[in-house]
Amino acid sequence: MSSHPVTQLDDTVHQRVRLGILTILATAGRADFTYLRDTLELTDGNLGRHLDVLYDAGYVEITKTFEGRRPRTWVTITKGGRTALTGHIAALRQMIDAVPDK
């Protein structure tokens, strides 16, 4: 018997903000902290915490650079992050397909 798609959801990815971060990174390749914060309408602290979770899971890479004297944080998606996102979205689509039409 096949399991319900819910069991295939990745809890790290499933959180709404983290799903948004990975989607942006998978589309654009890389983004900086400010772009992610403004696009997802988050506070610095909130975004920082979500990035830490994704970094600990090995789904993103974080690079800190300096432009002049201004620090800049670039975030890129890893291969593992891309795989996790693809699997998660596939599970979401499966769940939608499983809902019967009214």
Q: Which of 39, 46, 63, 83 binds other proteins (CB under 8 A)?
A: 39
Distances (CA, A) of 79 to 4, 27, 99: 26, 13, 31
Rounded Cα distance, 19 and 85, in Å: 7
- Shortest CB 4 distance to other proteins, Å: 7
Residue 68: left if φ>0, alpha if ψ -120 to 50, beta else—which one? left
Q: Is residue 8 involved in binding other proteins (CB under 8 A)?
A: no
Q: Which of 12, 24, 50, 59 binds other proteins (CB under 8 A)?
A: 24
Nearer to other proteins (CB atom), residue 32 or residue 52: 32
Distances (CA, A) of 59 to 43, 47, 74, 76, 78: 21, 15, 14, 9, 5
Among positions 55-94, residues that touch other proteins (CB under 8 A) are 67, 72, 76, 89, 92-93
* Interacting residue ranges for other proteins, rule: CB under 8 A: 4, 6, 9, 16, 19-20, 23-24, 26-35, 39-40, 67, 72, 76, 89, 92-93, 95-96, 98-99
